[in-house]
Structures are given as structure tokens and as C-alpha cells.
Structure 1
Amino acid sequence: MSRSGEKRPRLLFVSPRFLFPADEGGKIRTGQILRGMKGGAFELDLIAPASDAEVRAHRAELLELCDRFEAWPPQRRGALWKLARLRHLLSPLPVAVRTDVCAAFARATQGGLERRPDLVVFDYVHSAVAFPRELKLPSVCFTHNVETEIFRRHAKVASRALSRAVWRNQAAKMERFERDSLARFTRVVAVSERDAQQFRNDFGLAQTRVIPTGVDLDHFRYTPAESNDRVVFCGAMDWAANQDGIGWLLDEVWAKVLAVHPSATLTVVGRNVPESLQAKGRALGASVRFTGWVEDIRPHLQGAAAYAIPLRVGGGTRIKGYEAIAIGSPVVSTAIGVEGLGLSAGKHYLEANDPASFAESLVALLGDAARGRALAQEARAFVEERFSFRHAAQAFEGICLEAWREHVARSPLPPICGTSTRAMQGKP
């Protein structure tokens, strides 16, 4: 039932990732969208891979996101899984997609569809591997990036010829998969206008819509930057783009910062740090610290002199940037690091795209807390005005209603579930 007591249409949400812990951008964004939609226009069914222990540990949080949750057994990521990824290089699908193909995923999706939802949403383009050959329901794909662009950028910055060749090969496969898969959906949701334009212009996807990137402003309460020596980065360190960015920061930038500000410290907050990066950090001494996974990133962000986004590869939007801004951390970023966020260089953050300017920008904030606070205040005001996660959830719900209403209008038969006037008008 809706908040008004009326029967609602049912939405099946298919995610190839369990959303907890919410320790990476895509999981955070999806969780915020579902949390904002809970109790609104749709009854929400969520399916995702999760162990029994994970479901028990996060049962209360799941109840905040959906009315019904079903899990399928997650794949074990041991030595055989890694070997399979190597074999998948020969697949016509990109490795990142082929790895998600499994019978349990297909069965869970089919089971969800057999419960006769009114609309189905696939989270990430990767989940389209479970898209049925014939689907008579309206469908939405929630894209978090233009995956093809990310792969091309990896090929561009790869230092080894073999790596460049592999990334180019994977980019070509991803382009075919992304174009062909997204064309089958009633609506494609992008997280920035820039991504949406690529889908429309490069892939011919006129059905693309945009939602803003949202941040929980109550959770990330503003704490002004302090006069200190702390530089922070937050991000999952098993993501190739973060590995590349932190590797570049350690190899090309950090020694330049220490030469001017020897008491500076860099804290990298995020899970699964490769040994190669840990070795680079040790070579720079006690100034570099890797925390590994943490339950709450806020204590690391609060009061930091600078938040670094040294990304050279990426797509979509970097939600961690908004979280840092919301909490009051002044940001130094490459252009790619804040791409799609709508921020103005010099007003909301300091932009730096080469090692010398990145080091200079960090040093500037380490030596001038007042300047950092001024940047942080402007950026926080910008985010408050436009990017609450509730705005994003409302926009996403509106797109889903648009797709459902369009299907109902064309259908010769009554819709399977609720058809209240409020829902048809897009009112929760």
C-alpha cells in the first residue's frame, strides 16, 4: 500500500551487487535512491547476491530500502574465480560483464519476474546479462557510468603495451555490449548530463533520462576545515581507476608536497589496497597511511586540510567528492575527478591535472586554512541547493513512473498491479 493506503504498482529492482556495506559509490547511490523511494509510488522488490550471514547482518538496513528482499548465492572469489577471469578474456563479452554471468543470477531474476511486477529496473549495465530475451514489461537500466569511456581511458593511461592492448580490446567489447544492451530498455538513467549526451549521441539512445547525484546532507554534517597537515582520499582500492590515481599521486605528486610541507600526511581510506601501492607508501615513510576498510569514513574526512581526487580514469560522477564537500573538506581534483558534478574550478575546488600543479594546490591548502574554508563553504552551499539524495530519488521515481505509464497507455490489457490515480499521476 502507498502512504495513502492505495495499492501501488510493483517495481522489481535487480542489482548484481549486494548494497551493504555501502562502501563504494555505486552502492551508496543505489541505496540512497531506494531509501528515498521506499513508501512512495511503488512497492519495491529487491534481488541481489548475498550470503545468509550478510542478510542477517544487514536486515534492518534492507528494510529501509525495500518491501521485499530475495538473495541468490554470491560467487566465491577465490583462485578459480581469478583464473576464470583470465579465460573470460576470450569471451565476446567484456570480462567485467562475463564475470557476472551465472545460473543463480539468471534463476533469481526469472523468479522475480514470475512474481509479475509492473516494472523492472536493472542496476548497472552489467546486470543486462540477465535481461530476458522477451520481456513484455517496461524496463529501466540505471547506469552509473558510461563504461566504454572508462575502458578507453584505462587504455590511454596504461604504461605497458600489453595493458594498453587489453584495455582497447575490452573497450571495443564493452562498446558493443553497452550499445546493444541499453537499446532494449524502455528508459536508460544516467547520473550526469554529460553521460546522457554520450548515450544519446554515440549510442542513439533517445530514451535516456538524467538524475542528479545525491548526498545525504544530514549524515555528512558540515565540519569546517582546520589548520592541520592532513590530506585524505576515500575510495575502494580494488577499483582500477582508484589504483591508478593513488599510484600517480604517490609516484609523481607526494614527494613534491613533502619537499615544501614535510609534516604533511596522506591517509588513503578504502578496502583491498594492493601490495604494490602499500610498497609505494612505505617508500615515502610515515607520511602515507592506508586504513583499509572502515565502517565510517566521516572521522577521516572531518576537519581535513584537503581532500584529494587524483583520478585520471573514471565515468559517471564521483559521489565521494560530494561527500567530502558536504562534510566541509576542501577539494583538490583533476578535471576527470569531478566530472559531471557541476562544480566550478577555483570557486568550489582547486583543479590540477599534472603533478606539479596538483602538488602546488595541496600545498596551498595545507598552508592556508582560511582559503580551504572559503572553498568548502562555497561548495557545500552549491551541493545543499541542488544535490540532496531526496531530489535524486524523486527524479528516479518520476522516470520509473513515466516508463510505467507509457506502457499502460499502450497496453490493450489492464496492468498487472495497482493503477491508482495517484500513481498514474506520479504522486507518491
Structure 2
Amino acid sequence: MSVALVSAVDPYPTDAGKKIVLAGFLDYFTDRYGPDKVHYIKVGAAPQLDFPVNLHQVPGPSRAAVIGNLATRVATGRASLQEAFLRSRRTGRAISRIIGEIRPQLQVYDTVRMAQYVPASVAAQQICYLDDLFSERYDRQLKAAERFPDVDSSPLAAFAEHVPRLIQPLADNRTSRTALLRAERTLVRRSEDRVARRFRRCLLVNQGEVDILTRRAGVPPGRVQCVPPLLRASAAQERRYAGAPAFVFVGLLSLPHNDDGLRWFLRTVWPIVLTRLPAARLRVIGRYAGSDVLELAGHHAGSVAVDGYVPDLGDALGTAAALINPLRFGSGIKLKVIEALGHSLPVVSTPVGAEGIASGSGTGVLVGTEPAEFAELLCSLTEPARNAEYSEAAREHFASTYSRQAVFAAYDTAFSLAGAH
């Protein structure tokens, strides 16, 4: 048995949600079949770090190919922007050649971008990992932009590295980027629905979106399935919370929902927390902080520290009172919440930030909507006995749903590998 995973994303280092999921798939396949039976076909630039499985690099599309795709495929409604940015005959031939050489029984294609290279006869036997529904994500970004005028709704944020410089300025202008986002919402929805009908199985990380795509594409129940992500965090890791009013935010700040949520929190919630707990501290962990975030953090000098990528979150999560997840829009499941649960760390989130994850009593996840409510929940968790109660709930939540054993059992079902090892 051999497996091939085709993607334009380098999963290492695992510093973003998408990378964590892909790295988890590789970990699972390696455990089940051994590294020599697992192949990763990487489209585009060479990976940054050594790979734990067989790596096959193929060239990405040329600038001329992308421009041609925009004219012949996007303009005619045949493909979404993100598909156009990653499509070329040269890339397709390279993928096909490698697949023909290694002849994997299981093929997993990463989102509609890679699914476009799969013939219908192959797709009917294989799997597409859709991450989350981009059409839903874009729809929420558009609605958030109307409600919150300061939201950056760039449709290129997630894959800007693949976008020709010629059209990147379009995403910097509010009017043109809103038009792009509306168009991409429609185009990628068509592609998602088409992929759901073509592939043997599609995988998402949010059960709510599984239900949406199943209904929207008109496919039988079970054709689209939900899979939990595999995180490295250990549910057994010892907590070292001693009562300090210390909180942590984790997230890639180039993503609009993270940037907007953190700015909202710093403007509206953090001042309330500081009024009640003058010694409170917030550590922001995440790359690509924008000027607005840095400026807001500067206004709270001494109480907010903005760090970049931190490879080991153990110390930050092990000593904080809670993780904050103040998202006002977004889609999919938020891996930072699951990672916090894996460290037995309570989470205070908005409803959007906790979507797809159990919350409330016995889960370790508290949900607040308004600034005062959010601040009250944070302050309450600085009481050691209450924190210990919610820490234990977080630990049990992770163990039952997101531990390695629980996730591997879900993957055995999703990838139809039960009993094959």
C-alpha cells in the first residue's frame, strides 16, 4: 500500500492551521504504512525543511500561464482565481508522471487547486481534502466588511505567493478587492460543488460545513466527511498556572480574521481587563503583525508583547490563564483552540472563534460576545480554583476528541484504511 498527497503547501514548519492538518496526514500515513510508502508531491517552491517522507517537487505555473488562465478560465467562469493561479499543462504533466511512476493506491488532493488536475475516472476513486469551504469564508468576509469597515477582505491573503505581481495591486484597493472577493465566492463555490460530486470522498474540518456542502452539492450523506486535525500538543502536559493575570493570543496575523479579531480585542476588551486587573499581560504569538496591531499594542506599552513565530508553545500555553480567540468572522475550525485544549489551557472565544468545537460547561471553552462579557470571562479565569476546573475540562475534551488515538481512529474511517495496517 502506498499513498500520495498532492499540494502546493509546504507543511513545515507547522506555523499555520493548513500546515498542521497536512503534517498530521503525513504523520498518520507514516504511522500506518511507513515513510517509504508515503509520497508528497509539492507544487511550486522547494520546501524549507527536511521531509519525513518521499518528496517530489514539480514546477508551478509560469506567469504567462496564469495570465492565460485568468483570460480563458476565470473570465469565462470555468475556474476560480485560486485554481487559475496554480494551473498549467507543465504542472499537470509533472504530477501525472510522478503518479504514474509510484502508482499509489490512495491519492489525496489538497483543495480545489490540486483537484483540478485529477481526471474524472481517478477522482471517483480518490479523496480531496477541502480544508474549509472558501466560498463560506469569502461570504463571511464580505458580510464582515459591510459590518466592520476596517476589515481587510483581501481575497489573495491565503495564497498571495502564487499571484502575479501584475494583479496584486487590485487586492490593495477596497473597491476592486471587494469585487474580486464577490467573484471568487461564486467561482470557488462552483468548484467546491463540482469536486464534491466528482471525488469518492471529500474531507472538511468543520461538521457544519460538511452539512452545507452535502446539501449544496446534492451528494449522498457520507460522501463529504468531517475529520479532526492532528496536533502535536499533549493532553497530559502539566499545567503550571500560578494565578498571574497572563493571557495569550496565537495566530497568523496576515489572515484577515486574526488581524481583525485582535485589533477589536485590543480596542474594546483589553482596556476593560486592564481597569480590573492593572497587572494583566497579553502575549501575542504570530507572524506578520500589521502596523495597526503594532500601533494598538504600543498604546498598551508594558501590558502587550507582540512576538513572531514561536516553535514551542509549551511555556506560553502552560503558564497563561487562558487563550483568547476574539474572531468576528471566519470559517472552518480554529486549530489554535484545539491546541490550547491539548495543553489543558482554558479558552475564551467569540461564537465565531469556537465554531465547530464543543463549548460551554465541561469543555474548557467559554464563549462571550460583547466586550464586557469577554473581559469578565477572562478575569474570572485568573482565580486559581476556577482555572483548575476549566483546565481539567479542557484536558478531557482534548483526550476524547483530538488525541492521537481519537484522530487516528477518525482517519481510519475517512481514508477507508481500517484493518489495512
TM-score with structure 2 setting the length: 0.81
In 2, the alpha carbon distance for the partners of 1:182 and 1:249 equals 37
Q: Which amino acid aligns with 2:330?
A: G
Alpha-carbon RMSD:
3.0
Q: Which has the higher contact order (CA 8 A, sep 6+)?
A: 1
**Contact (CA 8 Å) 1:12, 1:112: kept in 2 or not?**
no
In 2, the alpha carbon distance for the partners of 1:53 and 1:135 equals 27
Q: Name 1:146's counterpart in structure 2.
A: 133
Q: Name 1:106's counterpart in structure 2.
A: 92
What's the offset of the Cα at 1:190? 2.2
* Within-5 A mapping of 1:47-126: 47-49=41-43, 51=45, 54=48, 58-59=49-50, 62-63=51-52, 66=53, 68-73=54-59, 91=75, 92=77, 93-101=79-87, 105-115=91-101, 116-126=103-113
Q: Given the superposition, is the C-alpha separation of residues 104 and 243 from structure 1 closer, same or farther in structure 2, using an over 3 Å criterion?
A: farther
1:52-91 residue CA offsets vs partner (Å, 9 max, x unmatched): 572xxx32xx22xx3x211235789xxx99x98xx89975
1:357-415 residue CA offsets vs partner (Å, 9 max, x unmatched): 1122222223x13212211111211211222134323432433337xxxxxxxxxxxxx
State the secondary structure of the residue aligned to 1:371: helix
State the secondary structure of the residue aligned to 1:40: helix
Choose from 115, 129, 143 the match for 1:128.
115
Q: Name 1:12's counterpart in structure 2.
A: 4
What's the offset of the Cα at 1:181? 2.6
In 1, the alpha carbon distance for the partners of 2:319 and 2:335 equals 19
Q: Name 1:196's counterpart in structure 2.
A: 210
What's the offset of the Cα at 1:337? 1.1
Are 2:354 and 1:319 aligned?
no
In 1, the alpha carbon distance for the partners of 2:255 and 2:87 equals 20
Choose from 291, 294, 316 the match for 1:300.
316
Q: Given the superposition, is the C-alpha separation of residues 343 and 33 from structure 1 closer, same or farther in structure 2, using an over 3 Å criterion?
A: farther
Name stretches of at least 5 consecutive residues in structure 2 with no aligned partner. 150-173
State the secondary structure of the residue aligned to 1:271: coil
State the secondary structure of the residue aligned to 1:236: coil
In 2, the alpha carbon distance for the partners of 1:220 and 1:25 equals 22
Q: Name 2:407's counterpart in structure 1.
A: 392
Choose from 256, 279, 284 the match for 1:268.
284
What's the offset of the Cα at 1:16? 1.8
In 2, the alpha carbon distance for the partners of 1:374 and 1:398 equals 33
**Contact (CA 8 Å) 2:20, 2:229: kept in 1 or not?**
no
* Within-5 A mapping of 1:14-413: 14-40=6-32, 43-49=37-43, 51=45, 54=48, 58-59=49-50, 62-63=51-52, 66=53, 68-73=54-59, 91=75, 92=77, 93-101=79-87, 105-115=91-101, 116-132=103-119, 135=122, 138-158=125-145, 159-160=148-149, 162=175, 166-206=180-220, 207-218=223-234, 221-344=237-360, 347-366=363-382, 368-401=383-416
**Contact (CA 8 Å) 2:74, 2:84: kept in 1 or not?**
no
**Contact (CA 8 Å) 1:213, 1:319: kept in 2 or not?**
yes
Q: Given the superposition, is the C-alpha separation of residues 30 and 136 from structure 1 closer, same or farther in structure 2, using an over 3 Å criterion?
A: closer
Q: Which amino acid aligns with 2:342?
A: A
In 2, the alpha carbon distance for the partners of 1:358 and 1:320 equals 18
**Contact (CA 8 Å) 1:235, 1:242: kept in 2 or not?**
yes
State the secondary structure of the residue aligned to 2:242: coil
**Contact (CA 8 Å) 2:341, 2:397: kept in 1 or not?**
no
- My pick for the range that moved more, 120-129 or 229-238, is 120-129
Q: Given the superposition, is the C-alpha separation of residues 136 and 363 from structure 1 closer, same or farther in structure 2, using an over 3 Å criterion?
A: closer
Q: Given the superposition, is the C-alpha separation of residues 37 and 169 from structure 1 closer, same or farther in structure 2, using an over 3 Å criterion?
A: same
Give the length in aligned residue pairs: 383
In 1, the alpha carbon distance for the partners of 2:368 and 2:317 equals 20
Q: Given the superposition, is the C-alpha separation of residues 372 and 53 from structure 1 closer, same or farther in structure 2, using an over 3 Å criterion?
A: same
In 2, the alpha carbon distance for the partners of 1:271 and 1:220 equals 28
What's the offset of the Cα at 1:31? 1.1
1:205-257 residue CA offsets vs partner (Å, 9 max, x unmatched): 32112323333353872314331121101111111221121121122222222
**Contact (CA 8 Å) 1:312, 1:334: kept in 2 or not?**
yes
Q: Given the superposition, is the C-alpha separation of residues 392 and 278 from structure 1 closer, same or farther in structure 2, using an over 3 Å criterion?
A: same
Q: Which amino acid aligns with 2:111?
A: Y
Q: Which amino acid aligns with 2:218?
A: G
In 1, the alpha carbon distance for the partners of 2:302 and 2:92 equals 48
**Contact (CA 8 Å) 1:41, 1:427: kept in 2 or not?**
no
**Contact (CA 8 Å) 2:237, 2:343: kept in 1 or not?**
yes
**Aligned-residue identity in percent:** 25
TM-score with structure 1 setting the length: 0.80
In 2, the alpha carbon distance for the partners of 1:217 and 1:383 equals 10
Name stretches of at least 5 consecutive residues in structure 1 with no aligned partner. 1-7, 403-424
**Contact (CA 8 Å) 1:306, 1:365: kept in 2 or not?**
yes
In 1, the alpha carbon distance for the partners of 2:33 and 2:311 equals 32
**Contact (CA 8 Å) 1:213, 1:389: kept in 2 or not?**
no
In 2, the alpha carbon distance for the partners of 1:346 and 1:396 equals 26
